[in-house]
Amino acid sequence: MRFKRSALALFVALMALVLTNAAVAKSVTLTYEFQNQKYYFSVNGSSTLTPLMCDSFDNNIYKTETWTATVSPFLQGIAGSMFGPSMTLDYKAAGLIYKSMLAGTLTTLQAQWAVWGLFSTNAQGETLFTTYGGAATDATYLALAGTAPDSAYSGLLLYTPVGGKPGIGPQEFIGYSAVPEPGTMTMFGTGLIGLAGLIRRKLARA
């Protein structure tokens, strides 16, 4: 009986740890399939394509190219991102721009050129950056990023190519997945650990 009680408590605790760590960075294989304003990818060979937005104008990819990327919750991923933590405010602005595109406040092309302009002076020199009001959009969202709470970036993901650098290697991308963020998962995991303790105490009294 004691073995069963201990095994049950251990199982619940392990499940809690697994769920708590489900939202940390992991490696995925990206295959670039096509572009129709957004970039579409097969992730880990999936036939369901994932739309992403590029943030690295000076890097290049070609159709059917495959590479390994680290996918992280957006704010967490900035530390190991292509442009590094010194560009944190720009990344935050890019995240808010991407969410505004998802909400329909910005068109895909407005958002894409604004995001490119945050990280590339070459993009800023392109005619389409001016056509889609990139400078004004960047100024607006950089100001918003200065005070936006972390919750504003909920669901955003950062796909950073392993070994990629500005102008070298595949591009970096921003995506979205409506899944619980690390804080939510941690709370859920903590709750499960508490439940394991409660079950163990109840069984001990039985």
Where would I find the beta strands (DSSP E) of the chain?
26-36, 38-43, 50-54, 66-73, 156-161, 173-176
Please tell me the predicted confidence (pLDDT) of residue 206.
54
Number of domains, the chain: 1
Q: Decide if 59 is inside a domain.
A: yes
Is residue 185, in this structure, part of any structural domain at all? no
Amino acid at 109: L
Q: Which two tokens stand for residue 49?
A: 């394509």
Instruction: Tell me if 17 is assigned to some domain.
Output: no
- Whole-prediction pTM value? 0.78
200 falls within a domain: no
Select the highest-mean-pLDDT range: 5-9, 49-53, 202-206.
49-53
pLDDT in tens, 40-99: 999 999 999 999 999 999 999 999 999 999 999 999 999 999 999 999 999 999 999 999
- Between CA 91 and CA 58, with CA 136 as vertex, the angle to 5 degrees is 50
At 91, is the secondary structure helix, strand, or coil? helix
Residue 51 resides in a domain: yes
pLDDT tops 70 at residue 170: yes
User: Does residue 89 form part of some domain?
Assistant: yes
Give the range of the structural domain holding residue 167, as residue numbers without chain letter: 24-179
Q: What is the pLDDT of residues 108-154, one digit of tens each?
A: 999 999 999 999 999 999 999 999 999 999 999 999 999 999 999 99
- Where does the pLDDT of residue 28 fall: very low under 50, low under 70, confident under 90, or very high at 90 and above? very high
Q: Quick count: other Cβ atoms within 10 Å of Cβ 206?
A: 7
- In this structure, is residue 142 part of a structural domain? yes
User: End-to-end alpha-carbon separation of the chain, Å?
Assistant: 10
**How many Cβ atoms from other residues are within 10 Å of residue 200's Cβ?**
16
Residue 7 in any domain: the answer is no
Q: What is the pLDDT of residue 132?
A: 98
